[in-house]
Amino acid sequence: MTLQEYDYARESPSKLAASCLLLALTMKNLGGWTPTLAYYSGYSAQDLHPLVKKLNFLLTYQPRDKLNTVHSKYSHRLFYEVAKLAPIDMLKLEKALTNS
């Protein structure tokens, strides 16, 4: 989704990937940003929080008409139906990020 948004072009790919991982971990209640993830990614959880919030906002308010093919593809069982997951509520995300 970020490939179509110019605002994300200035983010480093590694920071974007790390933020996506943290958002996915938070959405699925799989734990937070561990010291191991921080060590190997080079980013602390606090470094990623603004971008994680921005990504969740994009998931929440992105019009689907632009991404019908992508949504259809990732709604398939082969891709674990990740497109069907609801974005996390912004307040819950904020609370989860501050608790990690």
The reported pLDDT for the residue numbered 3 is 82
pTM here is: 0.86
Is 68:31 a contact under the CB 8 Å cutoff? no
User: What does the pLDDT look like over 42-97, one tens digit per residue?
Assistant: 999 999 999 999 999 998 887 667 778 888 898 999 988 888 888 899 999 999 99
**Cα–Cα dist 46/64, whole Å:** 30
Give the single-character DSSP code of 59.
H
Is 52:93 a contact under the CB 8 Å cutoff? yes
**Cα–Cα dist 22/84, whole Å:** 18
Assess if CATH 3.40.50.300 describes domain 6-99: no
Q: In terms of pLDDT, which residue wins out, 86 or 36?
A: 36
